[in-house]
Amino acid sequence: MGYVSAEDHALVTAAVAEAELTTSGEIVTVLAERSDGYSDIALAWAALAAFTAMSVFAMWPGWFLGRLDAIIGNWGSEWSIGAQFTLLIGFGLLVFFLIWAIQLWDRAKYALIPGPVKTSRVHERAIKHFKVGAERRTHGRTGILIYLSMREHRAEIVADEPIAEIVSVEVWGEAMADMLIEIKQGKIADGMAAGVHDVGRVLSEHFPRAEDDENELPDRLIEV
């Protein structure tokens, strides 16, 4: 993936270990390159472009056929209904595959994905990672996930139910804001460490560390 170095991993791991010294909460950090392939969105854009192109062709067939005559050197030849229909389908397919090919370039692909779709997919992926790696895997159900998805430029904080019942979403919003300040400057590990410190401070207020508390989840940064 190449987003963080070994030193960055050590920085985030140390931040998690330090934050958990004062709380029974267990913090899991996940760094993802992307949260979805978005092939359905790419397909939708290609289909929409093809349908639009075919509709324009059908509305002004004379203009398109005139341009085609000029290209192939015909002298105003008559195009049969069947030939026009074949050209219509061919034109639609050409546009479809052109738009699909453009979206093979990630920068173009992600630029065409609507923001709400990115937000929804990142949230869904964060929930899946939380269910696999943190939910109900700690004594007292005090697991919390900090999830960062690079391609979408989105972050999520997902907490076990006992934490979510006490700590409002707005509080985690403040932690994410501190985290994103660093990340927008290209300091990914520093940003995640800042988020970990904020989350740890909140957890220590509501879920202080017990004397017999054990480290139940890995402190290391997980890359997926």
Judged against a pLDDT cut of 70, whether residue 84 lies above it is answered with: yes
The average confidence (pLDDT) of the chain is: 85
For the residues 118-135, what does the mean pLDDT come to? 85
Evaluate whether residue 105 is within a structural domain.
yes
Query: Which of the 8 DSSP states describes residue 205?
Result: H
Shared-domain flag, residues 150 and 53: no
Shared-domain flag, residues 207 and 118: yes
* Lowest-pLDDT choice from 41-45, 60-64, 111-115: 60-64
Shared-domain flag, residues 184 and 210: yes
For the residues 185-204, what does the mean pLDDT come to? 90
Shared-domain flag, residues 201 and 148: yes
Report pLDDT for 138. 59
Structural domain ending residue among the three candidates 64, 84, 111: 111
Distance CA 105, CA 97 (A): 13
| Among 224, 215, 220, CA closest to 26 | 215
- pLDDT, tens only, 88-105: 888 889 999 999 999 999
Shared-domain flag, residues 132 and 199: yes
Shared-domain flag, residues 119 and 182: yes
Q: Which residue has the tokens 């019942």?
A: 165
For the residues 165-188, what does the mean pLDDT come to? 86
Query: Which of the 8 DSSP states describes residue 145?
Result: E
Distance CA 215, CA 143 (A): 11
Judged against a pLDDT cut of 60, whether residue 11 lies above it is answered with: yes
Report pLDDT for 173. 84
Instruction: Give the pLDDT band (50/70/90) at residue 129.
Output: confident
Residues 6+ apart with CB under 8 A from 31: 1, 3, 4, 148, 150, 188, 192, 221, 222, 223, 224
Instruction: Give the pLDDT band (50/70/90) at residue 114.
Output: very high
Shared-domain flag, residues 84 and 139: no
Report pLDDT for 174. 84
Report pLDDT for 77. 66
* Lowest-pLDDT choice from 66-80, 87-101, 141-155, 174-188: 66-80
Judged against a pLDDT cut of 70, whether residue 164 lies above it is answered with: yes
Where residue 186 sits, what CATH number does that domain have? 3.10.310.50
Q: What is the DSSP string of 116-171?
A: HHHHHHHHHHHHHHHHHHTTT-STTS-EEEEEEETTTTEEEEEE-HHHHHHS-HHH
Shared-domain flag, residues 132 and 209: yes
**Domains in the chain: how many in total?**
2
Shared-domain flag, residues 209 and 150: yes
Give the domain extent around 208.
6-36+114-223
Query: Which residue has better confidence, 211 or 11?
Result: 11
| Distance (Å) of CA 213 to CA 86, 119, 160, 166 | 72, 35, 17, 20
Evaluate whether residue 1 is within a structural domain.
no
Evaluate whether residue 130 is within a structural domain.
yes
Quick one: 161 exposed, middle or buried, by C-beta within 10 A (0-12, 13-18, 19+)?
exposed
Distance CA 75, CA 12 (A): 71
Whether the predicted model's global pTM rises above the 0.85 cut: no
Evaluate whether residue 149 is within a structural domain.
yes
